[in-house]
Structure 1
């Protein structure tokens, strides 16, 4: 492997650090199924302006990755091939913009990249805007931390910043055992809301452990038959399965709020909600390092936890995508990229 000359900014706090010219990364050459993913040697990215270069130890996998790989999701923003997927990461800073930067070389961090504006995190190195970083929770391994950023920030934005979760509020969360869902249940419960979560029978007890006051087994009951008069619905499914989104309107009180999270899963939700006197909004995750730092404190305190269902090596990215697309994951799937 060829190495670059040591960069002054990379070594101000860690003399002797060298950065390789190339790195291993999972790439795909055109939209396709999971088998389109392959491991290749690509150029190590160069940070610019306020970006930090991070050695990736682990990378989280999210549904948006699979959608983008298949030609949906964020695929329209890909400007060149081959492309690398991945938003979530946990790793170690190897190059900072300046000597007194808040994340100097050697700092363990986690966060989100603006993929595909920059190469993704299914790689040995990634570049990250400083404002999208936070220090890794000390109580978590890199594998655990890599499962947090996108899912937890989405849940935080939906439950805390949009629904304004509080005591006395009734919040229905669909797919409560998934990546975003299991954080949404915990955040809503932490802030005092009465949480109702839907899930499969194997996850009902676990959802109660996370803080759900009521659970509905979607395989044996229709939630609209047992739930009513909720203030907020956090819909993480949409109308792609059994018209979950449309049916949710039946259980929201007049003037209540429907938050529709999956992009494109129910294009007509705004008009449908308005026709019933229900407020509605979509949501897009904000890669806010400040919010992530708050979430890190909750994780370190034990008030919130992350659940990693499966861990795959970088070379097994295709298998990880196939597992994700089964839609039965509890919590998160993570890629192990390098040694801790």
Structure 2
């Protein structure tokens, strides 16, 4: 099978090489999946740069999102059959990644692909969807009527988090550039703040504060969040923040902090699938590239450096691994 291997840490242009590897075989309780699509996430950029070199031995196949078709089942893997369309989030830093034509996975991590999603859409939703669900539901415990602040609402996780929070009955405030305000409003944001035009904290305070802050951007968000929180508010951060942060203000509002490194699981995918089936959640696919163009995909996600004058796409960048027909919905999501 063909894979795109990470052969050296550093810049995208020299990091990857196309290689041929033997076809893997599923072990007990495992599935061999033909990868129809995968996607690129900030975690992949960090891995490629060498941020996690202690966990990644080169050469390596990285990537974590999969939407595909079951090809073969191992002994005891009776939940699925060859031909079933599935989607999943592969474990991070464990086994081979998903920049490959085929992938082996434990069946307990796999869910049936929602019929309303193309493979490209499902691959673009897996990691960001599970992250948003785990942050808002499992960590923050969002409740109907609460107010949620999503930092970076036009990004991969942010665009999904807005929709999940709205589907669960929350009011959504988000930060985004002015050019993205109409976009995040269409996703369901009730209030949008231009973070580049001034301090977001006074604007949130004028609303009466928020119950939950979802941090997808880092910087000084941990220090600033308590100033925007109502009493007993919760902060969930999905960003590595190496700089020291002053959390003294958190005591004044009895704040709770959660630091999230996402974990895969079928139950979370099935919950997201139900929202998709109900028409309350749609992936946002900003670009679709072939697997061979993974270096270009990384450059685009980092800010469009591979295309001079081109802005970073909204939502997710997907990689089409095998030829497929894309649903009209996927094309509409990119507008």
Q: Secondary structure at the match of 1:322?
A: helix
Question: What does 1:2-151 correspond to in 2, within 5 Å?
Answer: 23-35=1-13, 36-72=15-51, 74-78=52-56, 80-98=57-75, 101-151=78-128
- How far, CA to CA, are the matches of 2:295 and 2:171 in structure 1? 39
Distance change (3 Å), C-alpha of 1:329 and 1:76: farther
- How far, CA to CA, are the matches of 1:217 and 1:248 in structure 2? 16
Distance change (3 Å), C-alpha of 1:25 and 1:115: farther
Q: Is the 8 A contact 2:113 2:122 kept in 1?
A: yes
- How far, CA to CA, are the matches of 1:321 and 1:225 in structure 2? 35
- How far, CA to CA, are the matches of 1:47 and 1:269 in structure 2? 48
- How far, CA to CA, are the matches of 2:260 and 2:76 in structure 1? 37
Task: Judge which range, 214-223 or 144-153, deviates more.
Answer: 214-223
Distance change (3 Å), C-alpha of 1:269 and 1:70: farther
Deviation by residue 1:166-210 (Cα, 9 ceiling, x = unmatched): 222111110011111111111111111111011111211121121
Q: Is the 8 A contact 2:28 2:76 kept in 1?
A: no
Q: Secondary structure at the match of 2:127?
A: helix
Q: Does 1:248 align with 2:228?
A: no
- How far, CA to CA, are the matches of 2:66 and 2:82 in structure 1? 16
Structure 2, unpaired ranges of 5+: 305-311, 325-335
Deviation by residue 1:5-35 (Cα, 9 ceiling, x = unmatched): xxxxxxxxxxxxxxxxxx1111122211112
Q: Secondary structure at the match of 1:231?
A: strand
Aligned-pair CA distance for 1:272: 6.5
Partner of 2:139: 162
Identify which of 190, 203, 227 aligns with 2:167. 190
Task: Judge which range, 142-151 or 162-171, deviates more.
Answer: 162-171
The count of aligned residue pairs is: 313
Q: Does 1:234 align with 2:219?
A: no
Distance change (3 Å), C-alpha of 1:49 and 1:255: same
Q: How does the TM-score come out when normalised to structure 1?
A: 0.87
- How far, CA to CA, are the matches of 1:129 and 1:235 in structure 2? 31
Let me know the Cα RMSD of the aligned residues. 1.9
Q: Is the 8 A contact 1:249 1:273 kept in 2?
A: yes
Aligned-pair CA distance for 1:233: 0.8
Structure 1, unpaired ranges of 5+: 1-22
Q: Is the 8 A contact 1:88 1:112 kept in 2?
A: yes
Deviation by residue 1:289-332 (Cα, 9 ceiling, x = unmatched): 12201211211221111010001111100000000111833111
Q: Is the 8 A contact 2:108 2:265 kept in 1?
A: yes
Aligned-pair CA distance for 1:260: 1.4
Q: How does the TM-score come out when normalised to structure 2?
A: 0.88
Task: Judge which range, 325-334 or 113-122, deviates more.
Answer: 325-334
- How far, CA to CA, are the matches of 2:242 and 2:159 in structure 1? 20
Q: Is the 8 A contact 1:270 1:281 kept in 2?
A: no
- How far, CA to CA, are the matches of 1:66 and 1:266 in structure 2? 20
Partner of 1:7: none
Deviation by residue 1:222-279 (Cα, 9 ceiling, x = unmatched): 211211221111111111xxx3332222111232111111123555476773576422
Q: Does 1:336 align with 2:313?
A: no
